[in-house]
Amino acid sequence: MKKLVMIMAASALALSACGGENGGGIALTQEQKIANTYISEMEGVASAIEAVHDEKSAKQAAATIQEMKTTFEAMSVKYEGKMDSAAGAMAFTAKQQELVAVQSRIGMSMSKLAMSNPALMKIISDEMQDMPDIAAN
């Protein structure tokens, strides 16, 4: 019994020293990678929209949104038919606070932009129309 406890302790130390993709020693599932990528991409979109103050920055924000859509189209192809919907739901549930925060940032920034400069809002809203909502699936 004592030997088993020592082996388990050594295994736990070795696992934590390995440092997986999330820094905790355990490799992320593909669903967790998608959730992390989605939030990261949405953070980039939020930052780009928050930075809109003229036509050039609005076009840059639109390009950022387009890049995000391209990223998710590629991920969709890569993981098509390989996803576990329950694991996906759990991955996004674990990130719910971050997800709500970034969606709020985007919504508030777009509202401010729509009120202050509808022409700039139009530039980015065209790209926002078909933005993927991976988290809702």
pLDDT tens-digit profile of 20-71? 445 556 788 888 888 898 899 899 999 999 999 999 999 999 999 999 888 8
Judged against a pLDDT cut of 60, whether residue 7 lies above it is answered with: no
136 vs 75, residue with greater confidence: 75
Output the pLDDT for position 8: 39
Helix H or strand E segment including 17: helix 2-18
Calpha distance 94→32 (Å, rounded) = 9
77-127 pLDDT, tens digit each: 887 777 778 888 898 899 999 999 999 999 999 999 999 999 999 999 888
